[in-house]
Structure 1
Amino acid sequence: MQIRELTRDDLPSASTLCMDAFMLAVAPSLPPQGVETFSKLADAAAFAERMAGDNLMLGCLEDGVLTGLIELKEGRHVAMLFVAPDCQRKGIGQRLIDAAMEHARGDVLTVRAALSSVKAYERYGFILTGEVGEFAGLIFQPMEKRLTSI
C-alpha cells in the first residue's frame, strides 16, 4: 500500500472511485440536487482545477490501482475522503487521514462529513462541532479533529 500525491493522470480514476463510493453510500440519502452537485465536484476537470489551487490530493495505491483518496483544502479542511467500496474497512481511510495530517497547517482539521460517514470520522478522532447543514443539496455534519494538544 502506497500513499502518494495524485497527478493529473490519476484524476479520471479518482473521479470514478469517488462516484462509485458516493453513489453506493451517500447518494441514496440525498435529493437529486445533492447528487448533481457532487457529480460536478467529483468530475476529473473539477479535480484538476482544485489541484491547480491550494488543494492537496493524496491517493492510496495497491498494485498500481487507486483504492482511496483524500483531498485537503488549504491545509486545514478535508474536502473529500473516499475509499473504493470493495476496499473499505481495511485501514485505508485512517492511513489517508494520517498522511493528510502530515501536511496540515494549523491546529485543527475540519470536515463536512456526509451523514453516512460520521461514524468513520469519529473512529479517525473527529468530533461533532455543530448542527447538520445543507449546501446545494449536500447534507453534512460539521466535525473537527485537534492536531495538537492544548
Structure 2
Amino acid sequence: MEIQRVNNEDLAAITNLVEAVSKVAVLPHFNEQGKQEYIARVLTDVKATFDHDNFVTVKAVSNDTLLGFAAMKAGNYLTHLFVSHQVLGRGIGQTLLQHLLNSADAQEIKLRSAVNAVDFYLRHGFEITEQEGEFNGIRFVPMSLVRL
C-alpha cells in the first residue's frame, strides 16, 4: 500500500468511495433531514479538498485500487477520512491519519467525528471536547488531539 497525494483525476474514484462508505456507515445515523443535508454537501466538501493551497489531501492505493482517502485543512482540521469497507481493519485508516498528522505542525488537531468513527479517533489519542452535536440533522462529535 502507498499513500499518495490526490490529483484531479482521482475525483471520480474518491467520490465513489465516499458515497459507498457514507451509505453504509454514516447515513444510517442521521434522520431524513440529515441524510438529505449530508448528501447535498459531502461531495462539494470533498471536491474542495483538492485545493492544495488549503488542504493536504491523500489517498491510500494498492495495485491501482483506491483503498482510502483523507484530508486536512489548514494543517490543523481533519475534514475527511474514509476507508473502503472491503479493507476495514487492515490499518489503512490509521496509516492515512498518521500521514496527515505527520504533515501538520499544529499543536492541536481538531475534527468533527461521524458518530460511527468516535472509537477510532479515541484509540488514536483524540479526546471528545464537547457533547454530540447536530446541524440540520447531521450528527457529529467534536474532538481534538493535543500534541506536546
TM-score, normalization: structure 2? 0.91
Equivalence for 2:48: 49
Is the contact between residue 40 and residue 46 of structure 1 (CA under 8 Å) also seen in structure 2?
A: no
4+ residue runs over 4 A deviation: none
The answer to whether residue 3 in structure 2 is matched with residue 3 in structure 1 is: yes
Query: Residues 54 and 117 (structure 1 numbering): CA distance in 2 closer, same or farther, change over 3 Å?
Result: same
Aligned-residue CA RMSD (Å): 1.5
Q: How many residues align?
A: 147
Equivalence for 2:132: 132
Identity of aligned residues (%): 26
Aligned equivalents of 1:30, 1:46: Cα separation in 2: 18
The answer to whether residue 114 in structure 2 is matched with residue 114 in structure 1 is: yes
Query: Residues 8 and 40 (structure 1 numbering): CA distance in 2 closer, same or farther, change over 3 Å?
Result: farther
Alpha-carbon deviation of 1:144? 0.8
Aligned equivalents of 1:83, 1:39: Cα separation in 2: 18
Deviates more, 1:78-87 or 1:49-58: 49-58
Q: Which runs of 5+ in 1 are unaligned?
A: none
Q: How does 1:30-109 map to 2 (within 5 A)?
A: 30-43=30-43, 46-52=45-51, 54-109=54-109
Q: Which runs of 5+ in 2 are unaligned?
A: none
TM-score, normalization: structure 1? 0.90
Aligned equivalents of 2:94, 2:8: Cα separation in 1: 24
Aligned equivalents of 1:129, 1:88: Cα separation in 2: 26
